Structure 1
């Protein structure tokens, strides 16, 4: 009982009543969100093992019903936060108070819709997106630098990160056994019979996403299936054919996504993230003329670019194995004491078990939240509050 009371107290003080604790008022919020739980996206999984894969109940890449439900819970959580901080007027928000923009992928649009329908019940808040085939260039993680020197640098850096990577090797060894790769079509046809062997090839083309074909792509495709079906609630006996049961093994296996992000996106973060960074920079520089609430829904690689390019201090998220969990949100908050404004950034996200269990958030079981600090912005309060003028002058 004592633990429950302590949890309730901390949740109220640190999140809901921050305005009382700091004598500040919440002025504006920009949320950059990753979409929620989706169906796996990989093709050709049958080439990587002779074992039968579970059948999906929806189209590849689409938001799952559970993903929509979880995002609805997140919308309710934020609605309560807005209400407790007297951020928006009661009832439906005015047309100029809330602006929502997403990538063109169905999962990002559906995530935004699920959030809004729960945060602003019985209201009509539009979701904006481009009506084009393919991804919105604002979100697309494609190479834009056309110089040979840049290509050479990227290729060398990727080769360095891939070679003798012990964390990748741990995952590869596990997958060799789980998939029984030696009996697979990819072994018989492509001679990739041991994922630890250095048989990667880099695909690099201006205007396209960087890919590393071979063991890294195979492992990435397979782990995406395992993780997404775990989040979506597939029985444990059917995930990786019952071969991943402990948290320790999940910790080892999910390191693959961290390494893949560093290899394919971290190396080129500034280049692939330039349009999105320009958009955010322009938004913050003209924030006085922007809506009180802005919600942008994209992908994990967008969050990787933002946190890298903005210079956030690295952090390991408590109660999560992933670096940018499904449904996680980078929340830029503008607070004011009526004389000075301050920036506070928090990462709000579901824990590993919250995603699996799919329970509604409450005051005793809220989503996780950590303060994100910028390397270059002073915080004299120790609460993650950066002077707004300093943020604007440097971002």
Structure 2
């Protein structure tokens, strides 16, 4: 017990007397979610007899507005870096900036838009594995083949369903009305005519993503289309057929996605995020040999895995309905006083209205910036944690 107490006291002393005005930004790793994309739901026509909006791009690709918005984010970060005198003037070399993304179009295009705005005319390279489809490192597939792990995950997800699914009954009933689900194929052919009473079942297959099929999957798919339509600027009458127009209605429906993240990802997050966490761990442990700025672009489920594996405290983000907003990023900052280094992590993301309105971001009109608390480190009021303790956490 004594060594543990000494460790806690040491952390307190290290961060309590820190003069943040003397700190200099040394390195940054940005792990971001891609920006606004076209909806993914290939099964949407089965969920309602109504007509869906016709999109001009390929399912899942970054929209032109998404690229535009990401450019604003890149410009904001450039202004912040200039303020901190973090990057040299002109086009950066690979010892200064390194970008690595998932191998699908929307993540590559997001990184391209970010870098082209941050470093105009420089054509900074974006690296990704030259494969068709999603890079396995970024893909949330089950990797553990043991029966013990399977039983543990299924028990946890079933328990969470019992704990949380009742909270979604009002949202499911609202979706019944919006979709007029009794006239849908999913009702006529599969007998799912009331989302508030139909069963949810867990699909657990090694090598595949784990899903909770039934109302949770259906409403998540539908909500994805509504949300992307809203962000991309479609007229309100073309979003959810004009039936979702108030913050209260969005709050009600987006609870579906927040609960889905909670229900599906905890124990399994350590498994599906294993390769990504190893990559990040290796990067941080060898940060001295790596570029000053590392940019990685992935997905909301990647950010969920990072948050679970690194012990981010659970929060509700201000001015957003999403848990991991489109265009948002975890910003891992390494600061130094010349003797010791410190970690600070922030969640930087566009607000709900900034995405809708296409607000140009700057130091004067910044995105939302939310300090992330780490449940294993006694950070000071400014969020600084000793860098060595972060590295030890990665080893544990």
Shift of 1:152: 1.7
Q: Which residue of the partner structure matches residue 160 of structure 2?
A: 161
Whether contact under 8 Å (2:192, 2:198) holds in the other structure is no
Helix, strand or coil at the partner of 1:326: coil
In structure 1, C-alpha distance between the alignment counterparts of 2:198 and 2:155, rounded to whole Å: 15
Shift in Å, 1:201:
2.3
* 1:234-269 deviation digits (Å, cap 9, x = unpaired): 100111001111101101101111111122223411
Q: CA deviation at 1:350?
A: 0.3
> Which stretch of structure 1 is more off in the superposition, 156-165 or 135-144?
156-165
| Corresponding residue for residue 371 of structure 1 | 371
Matched residue SS, 1:343 = strand
Q: Distance in 2 between matches of 1:136 and 1:53?
A: 30
RMSD (CA atoms): 1.4
Change (3 A) 1:284 1:35: same
How far apart, CA to CA, are the structure 2 residues paired with 1:393 and 1:266? 22
Q: Which residue of 1 aligns with 2:4?
A: none
Structure 2 residue matching 1:37: 3-state secondary structure = coil
* Deviation of 1:209 (Å): 0.4
Name the counterpart of 1:127. 126
Deviations 1:324-370 (A, max 9, x none): 00000100000111111111111100000000000201344210001
Partner of 2:386: 387
What does residue 185 of structure 1 align with?
185
**In the TM superposition, what are the counterparts of 1:82-231 in structure 2 within 5 Å?**
82-163=81-162, 165-231=165-231
- TM, length-normalised to structure 1: 0.93
1:346 alignment counterpart: 346
Indicate the residue corresponding to 2:278 in structure 1: 278
CA separation of 1:267/1:393 partners in 2, compared to 1, >3 Å: closer, same or farther? closer
Q: Which residue of 2 aligns with 1:328?
A: 328
Q: Counterparts in 2 of 1:305-324, with a 5 A limit?
A: 305-324=305-324
CA contact (8 A) 1:378 1:387 kept: no
Structure 1 residue 93: Cα displacement: 0.9
Match of 1:268 in 2: 268
Unpaired segments ≥5 residues, structure 1: 1-18
Q: Which is worse superposed, 358-367 or 384-393?
A: 358-367
How far apart are 1:20 and its partner, in Å?
9.8
Pairwise CA distance, 1:277? 0.9
SS at match of 2:239: helix
TM-score, normalised by the number of residues in structure 2: 0.92
Give the Å deviation of 1:212.
1.8
Which contiguous aligned blocks of 4+ residues in structure 1 show a shift greater than 4 angstroms?
none
Which whole-Å deviations, capped at 9, do the CAs of 1:359-386 have from their partners, x for residues lacking one? Answer: 201344210001111111232x311010
Partner in structure 2 of residue 289 of structure 1: 289
Which runs of 5 or more structure 2 residues have no equivalent in the other structure?
Answer: 1-17
The 1:293–1:363 alpha-carbon spacing in structure 2 relative to 1, beyond 3 Å, is: closer
Alignment of 1:5-154 (within 5 A): 22-154=21-153
Contact 1:158/1:267 (<8 A) preserved: no
CA drift of 1:133 comes to: 1.6
Q: Which has the higher contact order (CA 8 A, sep 6+)?
A: 2
Task: State whether residues 47 and 179 of structure 2, in contact with CA within 8 Å, keep that contact through their aligned partners in structure 1.
Answer: yes
Distance 1:91 1:115 in 2: 16
8 Å Cα contact 2:75-2:362 kept in structure 1: no
1:209 aligned counterpart, secondary structure: coil
